Structure 1
Amino acid sequence: MEWKLRSVALTVAVVLAVAACTMEMGAVAAQSLCKMSQEGVEACKPCISTVKPAEQPSDACCAALKQADLPCLCYYKNSNLLPYLGIDPKRAMQLPAKCSMVLPQQC
């Protein structure tokens, strides 16, 4: 169960990072990345940041994560980009549990 949590959390973090980078470049396509809206991505960034991270995700972050396509996010789980994008992988791995998520079996 712990490895599933880590896989989903890491995947979520990678997708959030990719979406954040894409949005910073002005692309509109990030709004539909694995069903995560731009607002949802922004809401989750504070709790997985490498700089002064928030302890708990906001209600908006958890709501966005619960609407996301988690199997889609799983495709990003092996990316090594997280630290380079300012995302703490350990904090990212905790995000689904902090949002009381049920993990998909296919992750």
Structure 2
Amino acid sequence: MGKNNSRMLMRFSALAMVLTAAMMVEEAKSVRLCNLETNDLERCRPAVTGNNPPPPVNGCCVVLRAANLPCLCKFKSSLTAYGIDPAKAKALLPKCGIRNVIAPPGC
């Protein structure tokens, strides 16, 4: 019985190390882009995906207020690859109280 417990503990420890390493790698994938960390955009994901998304949370609005929004417009065509509806993303601005953003043509 003790041998099985030791084996289970070893497996659990190995799993914990793998999960910790995976989380650290995921954190490292964040890129600084248009005045924000790309991982921070995850705060807005619920508000820009699905058929009936909820309103943005305060953390999402904080991220958007810090971002260089005209710069983000350059990446508009990439949004759908991440399951983000560009029209819903644009609709976040007034929901977060962000007005008077001068967007490039076609944004």
Q: Secondary structure at the match of 1:102?
A: coil
Deviation at 1:86, TM superposition (A): 1.2
The letter for the 2-side match of 1:82 is L
Q: Secondary structure at the match of 1:53?
A: coil
User: Take 2:98 and 2:88, find their aligned partners in 1: how far apart are those partners?
Assistant: 15
Q: Aligned residue for 2:87?
A: 90
- Per-residue deviation, residues 25-72 of structure 1 (Å, max 9, x unmatched): 847363411122255311111100136622x10000001100011221
The RMSD of aligned alpha carbons is 2.6
Q: Aligned residue for 1:40?
A: 40
Given that 1:40 and 1:65 are in contact with CA atoms closer than 8 Å, whether structure 2 keeps it comes out as: no
Distance 1:43 1:53, change over 3 A: same
Task: Note the 1:16-31 alignment, pairs <5 A.
Answer: 26=26, 28=28, 30-31=30-31
- Is 2:99 the counterpart of 1:102? yes
Instruction: Number of aligned residue pairs: give it.
Output: 80
Instruction: Pick 1 or 2: higher relative contact order, CA cutoff 8 A, min separation 6.
Output: 1
Distance 1:103 1:30, change over 3 A: farther
- Unaligned ranges ≥5, structure 1: 1-24
The letter for the 1-side match of 2:98 is M
% identical aligned pairs: 34
Q: Aligned residue for 1:64?
A: 63
Deviation at 1:82, TM superposition (A): 3.1
User: Take 1:57 and 1:103, find their aligned partners in 2: how far apart are those partners?
Assistant: 19
Distance 1:75 1:88, change over 3 A: closer
- Is 2:65 the counterpart of 1:49? no
What TM-score, normalized by structure 1, do the two folds share? 0.58
More helix by share: 2
Q: Aligned residue for 1:5?
A: none
Q: Aligned residue for 1:11?
A: none
What TM-score, normalized by structure 2, do the two folds share? 0.58
Larger-Rg structure: 2
Q: Secondary structure at the match of 1:75?
A: helix
